[in-house]
Structure 1
Amino acid sequence: MTEPVNPVPTDPLLAELLDLALEAGRRAGALLRDGRPDDLAVAKTKSSPIDVVTEMDIAAEKLITGFLSEHRPDDGFLGEEGAASPGTSGVRWVIDPLDGTVNYLYGLPTWAVSIAAERDGETVVGVVEAPLRNETYRAVLGGGAYVGERRLSVRPAPPLEQALISTGFAYVQSRRARQADIAQRMIPRLRDIRRGGSAAIDLCDVAAGRLDGYYERGLNPWDLAAGDLIAREAGALTGGRPGERPSGELTIAAPPGVFEPLQELLEEFGAWRD
């Protein structure tokens, strides 16, 4: 029997959460795409272009939390722009309304809206809306990962020295210097390194087979919640230091066969410390 191209979750709650996340992501993505001034990088309407980006970021989070609260008033929230409430339903939404802020500021297409739903502490739904890519990534725990109608699957694992790996850098200068040192040591051991600027999209690109792996130190829960589920449902392994889950200390995602030597190398280089 052929698997449905776009299967509906059998659990009614998960189906509801997925539908709400998709619609919230679509609305927020449209707000950010259509509301961005063409001259944002040199905007004069505020004290700095960053003020405009911050306002868009906050507006997108308010749109998402308002929409979700309207439909599920008892759910909790954790958002980059300050949304924080425990809720009483056992469901919590983890939201990054604009992942890839600097890309957005400069008019680069690699930014996204990231929305995840946790049930009793476990991520069960993840949606990453990338408007300028015209792509919507989604996953339900145990149900696979998709972009549009296409089911996602990680690339077959190459030897580490042939792997294309993405990473990211923090805003804090001291941490950036340490991360640059790690990247410099990594490059001779890999095919090459990429720096996309959006953790959510990097994780989705691992899921889609566009990258052989990804690692980064310093992520927040909202940076990785949705993308981590999407990557895992596409067949990636995710983690941090050996035996640990992805966290702000270190996040790694890669297919089996790349994950293990990548994690070992990052541990050897001390990528988890500043």
Structure 2
Amino acid sequence: MNASRPRVLAQEDFDRFAVLSRDDNPIHCDPAFARATHFGATVAHGMLLFSLLCAQIRRSIPRPVLPIAQTLMFPRPTFVGDGVTAALVLQDAPGPGRIALDTSIRCVQRGRERITNAEEQVTAHGAAMLLADATADLLAMMRPAPLDQDGMARVPAVDASLYHLSIGQEASAARTFGVDDTDEYVSLTDDSNPFYTDPVFARSRGFDGAIVPLPLLAGMFSDLLGTRLPGRGTGWMKQSLRLCSAARLGEPLTASVRVTRLRADKELVNLATVVSGGDGRVVLQGEALVLVRNLENKGARGAV
């Protein structure tokens, strides 16, 4: 599959995604704060980059597909002013009705300078799983069993505390997405997947109407991680996502994050991440790895 055309990311893009996701982490939105960090400039939200991958999936695959899983690593920051492309590589099918992709965001231009070093280009990479000819029944059949959150971190905690953080600390936030949120998402990212934008199409596939885009659901984690736990200044290093059930527009949702591992020597934190529906079912689950080197207030108590 081909890469997308380059897109130069502006501060306006970061600010719009901050409003959409409610993640106004200063590493994304405050140029003065960001200049004082090891980044040196504002950097893109991880889920903004994920949404560009989803847009390229929609453009590259002729039939409607539903993203149901994604892993992402962010080996290098994507800075304001960078020109980036979203690239997809088709992998062997893992089973009937599924499509597997290697995904990456590559920085091809920084300011007026073209970047040609292949290693330096990649600022995000991972793997995606899609459902072809997806229906509500098929999604339910393929839904993984809920994770044992107490066992999500398969390696032991190295430290009992780090700054104001401790094992088991939690934060949560409630939100309901509407048509205006989807419209802004499509306008910003160009991901006009009909599962998200066409209620008639979505109903024809057994859903209750248009469903919430996966990057918006995951953006609830971005909000919590970047503003409450660990807090403002947090940098996303890795995220895994598994869609367990569709969230309909207008449905009350609750996102929760919980600290599962601390590594003080590297200033890294692992967290379990879950979005639940209004009826208590698991909608989205996964795990985050974040860097807390640039926390705005390292001594404050985390939100609960």
If each structure's strand is expressed as a fraction of its own residues, which one has the higher value? 2
Q: Which has the higher contact order (CA 8 A, sep 6+)?
A: 2
If each structure's helix is expressed as a fraction of its own residues, which one has the higher value? 1
TM-score norm. by structure 2 comes to 0.24
